[in-house]
Amino acid sequence: MKIDSLPLPISLRTKYSALGITELYPPQAECVDAGLFERKNLLVAIPTASGKTLVAEMAMQKEISDGGKCLYIVPLKALAAEKYEDFSGKEVKVGIATGDPDQRDEYLGRYDIIVATSEKTDSLLRNRSEWLKRVSLLVVDEIHLIGDPSRGATLEMVIAKLRYQNPSMQIIGLSATMGNPEELAKWLNAQLITSEWRPVDLREGVYHNGAIHFHGTERIVPTPKKDDDLNLLLDTVEEGGQCLVFVSSRRSAEAYAKRAAAVLKKKSADLDGYAERIAKADTTPSGKVLANAVKNGAAFHHAGLPRPAREAVEEGFRKGDIQVIASTPTLAAGLNLPARRVIIRDYQRYEAGVGMSPIPVMEYRQMAGRAGRPRLDPYGEAVLIAKDRGAVDRLFEEFIDAPAENISSQCQKENELRNHLLALIATGFASTRSEVEGFMEKSFYASQKATHRRLDRNIGKALEYLVQSGMITEEADGSMWGTQFGVLASRLYLDPETASMLREMLEKQETFSTFGMLHLLCMTPDMFRFYLKASDERLVDQVFSERGDELWCEELSEEFFAAVKTALVAEAWCEEVPEEIICENFGVGAGDIHAVVENLRWLMHAAGRIAHEFAPRFDADVRDLEIRIENGVKAELLPLISLRGIGRIRARRLFNRGITTPEELLAADTRDVVAILGNVLAKNVLEQAAKKTGKTMEIAELPEEKNETVPATASEEAKPQKTLFDFGE
Ligand code: ADP
């Protein structure tokens, strides 16, 4: 089917043709035949890289030319940015939804396509963004994540709410191959498009003892080195291809990159350039390992890396300079970085309470699907490594020939149900018990397996919890509404349990404790916690015995100790301990510190709102701590940090010169101020200080900047980026 025969704007067809896209791939043509342009709902469950995004884009462009508005939901923030780039520059207005969870972001209504994560969309729905009612085409990327234990329920409820609100909306679900696509299609009232077609031939095989065994054939792999995973790399590089290696942990990814660099030994000015960018962006030990490996053509990639370092790796790989990336499996889903050979080295994973168990087949397929760069590679190869001869057949059975798993609704879980029922009631989607039940009867959960009785029983339990914790009230006539507390919790996007914990603890305390507050936040179900390693135990025990009286929570559980470690990292950040030292002391990466900071910023903000309602005596303490977390500063820098343009580094420099407040800034020798801030910023900051303190000051003449001024570098002064819903890993 020719692109030119499709009902698309001419400018778009010209763009496609310039990209070499003139004819639809077979599964894309099937989508058109199934009613893509007639506003039919579709579930497109086809392999990675077979052109799903293009299907969605064509539908969106057509919808916009008919006056519609499109919402494109993605699972990761990093993917939102990627899709934003993809859709931009094609004569439609594209927006990306980020920002604080309790905002409506009405400005997004101006765009034709809005790209957002499912969590952000949920929070927009909770805050009743008006423009959402005008969405006429919903695209859900990676819709199989409805079955994801941690995030599936939100995705399911977002789809259900949008459908309820906009009954005539077209829905296009894009999915990896799964076991039961028919069930999902039925729920979506969608035509199902499945296909095994791929743009590049994919060969899947198992390596053992010098050869890759494929179905029916073999490929001999030279073995100059003793390690299989390195020989497989060298073999591909030798014939001009690149490799992706999936391993189970960040540490393994780093170790592999180091070993690969030692055998590849590539050298080029481009590689040096990437290494330099990385070294600048990430000064931690892990950043150094990466920069050194990249110099020799090898890299790793995981969510612990700061974004500029990740970007350098991606660019270096896309341009063909970096030969191999070792990556953790969670990145397989989003990362659009195909390579000729994908080596799935670690196909077992440790699961708490279960031990080592094989990764899901769906996940294997997503990794394998990264093999083969369209138009660049003659074929793609996905290779599993067998430990012994007997494992070869087993790996074929377990992964290559195995059917993908079925996905199932996650709304049966108690905590998910509470959370989402609160949102339904607080946002006015349902205002009686029977409306709640009616809404849930249309869920994927109900359509899949729940009997009425079981569904109603679970709903009953969740509603009881919400009534008891003071979040909703129910009248004798069955009508329900969210209390002030319930509405606040829902708008702040908090798990009801988090909101209750914060309220209860803040109400109970007589005095404020910074460490107690941080630890409390780290105990909530909305905070991610570091795992405790054996080496952490002594440190955590010590803190527990020496600083027990600062802690507010008392339950001694595994979470409690993990929360102590996480709170210690946050505290170190607020005490201005340099990032490299934090990384070393706690065995974490720079990206982890940022993840803690981002997560805590949101929770501190929420805690501030709850304190304001229920424990206003802590208003100032909570606000100060929020600013300290945001900026990574000790309390003594708070007066200076309040000035725009002054971050942690500059504030510290001023402070160390004895300038500790805006007043002292005005009184100081301006030469000192200029020496630290530079001329332009000094003027601006002095003006702010004058305004703040109500003083007037003549600051027209500032002394010349001296050469020895060391300006804070951009990355030093950069505040942690606000990426509240980034579930990188
Ligand atoms: P998916 O979303 O299924 O992973 P994409 O839509 O990202 O796949 O497509 C993968 C690549 O194939 C992109 O670079 C895209 O431009 C290209 N592509 C998609 N459809 C076609 C087509 N019909 N002809 C040529 N290239 C295409």
Closest residue by CA, ligand 1 atom 26: 21
Q: Which two tokens stand for residue 438?
A: 């009616």
Q: Is the pLDDT of residue 708 over 50?
A: no
CA distance linking residue 95 with residue 359, whole number of Å:
36
Confidence at residue 671, expressed as pLDDT on a 0 to 100 scale: 86
Mean per-residue pLDDT of the chain = 88
Confidence at residue 253, expressed as pLDDT on a 0 to 100 scale: 93
Tell me the chain's radius of gyration from C-alpha atoms: 27
DSSP H helices in 133-249? 152-165, 181-188, 228-238
**64 neighbors 107 (Cβ within 8 angstroms):** no
Q: What is the pLDDT of residues 497-515, one digit of tens each?
A: 999 999 999 999 999 999 9
| Closest approach atom of ligand 1 to CA 199 | 12
Confidence at residue 123, expressed as pLDDT on a 0 to 100 scale: 86
Distance (angstroms) between ligand 1 centre and the Cα of 24 equals: 9
Helix (H, G, I), strand (E, B) or coil at 129: coil
Distance (angstroms) between ligand 1 centre and the Cα of 128 equals: 35
| Closest approach atom of ligand 1 to CA 25 | 23
Confidence at residue 500, expressed as pLDDT on a 0 to 100 scale: 96
Give the Å distances, CA to CA, from 604 to 160, 563, 596, 610: 30, 15, 12, 10
Distance (angstroms) between ligand 1 centre and the Cα of 28 equals: 10
448: which residues sit within 8 A by CB, 6+ positions away?
183, 187, 408, 409
Closest residue by CA, ligand 1 atom 15: 51
CA 67 to chain centre: 32
- pLDDT grade for 723, boundaries at 50, 70 and 90: very low
User: Nearest 5 degrees, angle CA 243-CA 247-CA 253?
Assistant: 80
Looking at per-residue confidence, does 433 or 350 come out higher? 433
Closest residue by CA, ligand 1 atom 4: 49
| Closest approach atom of ligand 1 to CA 57 | 6
Looking at per-residue confidence, does 420 or 338 come out higher? 420
Confidence at residue 476, expressed as pLDDT on a 0 to 100 scale: 86
**275 neighbors 579 (Cβ within 8 angstroms):** no
Give the Å distances, CA to CA, from 373 to 360, 363, 376, 550: 24, 19, 5, 56
Pick the range with the lowest mean pLDDT from 153-162, 407-416, 553-562, 699-708. Answer: 699-708
Mutate to test the pocket of ligand 1, among 53, 79, 197 (most ligand atoms within 8 A of CB): 53
- pLDDT grade for 698, boundaries at 50, 70 and 90: low
Looking at per-residue confidence, does 49 or 225 come out higher? 225
Distance (angstroms) between ligand 1 centre and the Cα of 25 equals: 9
Distance (angstroms) between ligand 1 centre and the Cα of 51 equals: 4
Q: Is the pLDDT of residue 315 over 90?
A: yes
Distance (angstroms) between ligand 1 centre and the Cα of 36 equals: 17
Confidence at residue 126, expressed as pLDDT on a 0 to 100 scale: 85
Pick the range with the lowest mean pLDDT from 79-93, 196-210, 417-431, 689-703. Answer: 689-703
Distance (angstroms) between ligand 1 centre and the Cα of 53 equals: 7
| Closest approach atom of ligand 1 to CA 46 | 3
Show the ligand 1 pocket: residues with CB < 6 angstroms: 20-21, 24-25, 28, 48-54, 374
How is the beta sheet containing 243-246 ordered, strand by strand?
218-220, 211-214, 202-208, 380-385, 341-344, 243-246, 324-327, 298-301
Please report, rounded to a whole number, the percentage of residues in the chain having pLDDT higher than 70.
92
| Closest approach atom of ligand 1 to CA 50 | 3
Q: Is the pLDDT of residue 722 over 50?
A: no
Helix (H, G, I), strand (E, B) or coil at 73: strand
Closest residue by CA, ligand 1 atom 1: 49
Closest residue by CA, ligand 1 atom 5: 51
Buried b (16+ CB within 10 A) or exposed e, 337-363: bbbbbbbbbbbebeeeeeeeeebbbbb
Secondary structure in 3-state letters for 587-625: CCCHHHHHHHHHHHHHHHHHHHHHHHHHCHHHHHHHHHH
The CB density around residue 135, as the number of other CB atoms within 10 Å, is 19
**178 neighbors 407 (Cβ within 8 angstroms):** yes
CA distance linking residue 538 with residue 667, whole number of Å:
48
Looking at per-residue confidence, does 239 or 352 come out higher? 239
Confidence at residue 261, expressed as pLDDT on a 0 to 100 scale: 97
Q: Is the pLDDT of residue 495 over 90?
A: yes
The residue type of 181 is P
Confidence at residue 374, expressed as pLDDT on a 0 to 100 scale: 81
Distance (angstroms) between ligand 1 centre and the Cα of 49 equals: 6
Q: What is the pLDDT of residues 563-619, one digit of tens each?
A: 999 999 999 999 999 888 998 888 888 778 888 998 999 999 999 999 999 999 999
- Picking from 294, 286, 293, the residue whose alpha carbon sits closest to that of residue 315 is 294
For range 463-489, the mean pLDDT: 93
Closest residue by CA, ligand 1 atom 27: 21
CA distance linking residue 76 with residue 411, whole number of Å:
21
**650 neighbors 717 (Cβ within 8 angstroms):** yes
**411 neighbors 420 (Cβ within 8 angstroms):** yes
Mutate to test the pocket of ligand 1, among 16, 50, 54, 61 (most ligand atoms within 8 A of CB): 54
Closest residue by CA, ligand 1 atom 10: 49
Distance (angstroms) between ligand 1 centre and the Cα of 276 equals: 32
Q: Is the pLDDT of residue 352 over 70?
A: no
Q: Is the pLDDT of residue 491 over 70?
A: yes
- pLDDT grade for 448, boundaries at 50, 70 and 90: confident
| Closest approach atom of ligand 1 to CA 48 | 4
| Closest approach atom of ligand 1 to CA 22 | 24
- pLDDT grade for 102, boundaries at 50, 70 and 90: low
Distance (angstroms) between ligand 1 centre and the Cα of 709 equals: 50
| Closest approach atom of ligand 1 to CA 369 | 4
β partners of residue 245: 326, 343
Give the phi and the psi of residue 175 in degrees, each rounded to 5: -140, 150
Confidence at residue 712, expressed as pLDDT on a 0 to 100 scale: 46
Q: What is the pLDDT of residues 299-314, one digit of tens each?
A: 999 877 888 898 899 9
CA distance linking residue 672 with residue 654, whole number of Å:
9
For range 404-415, the mean pLDDT: 90
Distance (angstroms) between ligand 1 centre and the Cα of 52 equals: 7
| Closest approach atom of ligand 1 to CA 28 | 23
Q: Is the pLDDT of residue 626 over 60?
A: yes
Distance (angstroms) between ligand 1 centre and the Cα of 363 equals: 21
Closest residue by CA, ligand 1 atom 25: 21
| Closest approach atom of ligand 1 to CA 23 | 23
Distance (angstroms) between ligand 1 centre and the Cα of 55 equals: 9
Distance (angstroms) between ligand 1 centre and the Cα of 308 equals: 26
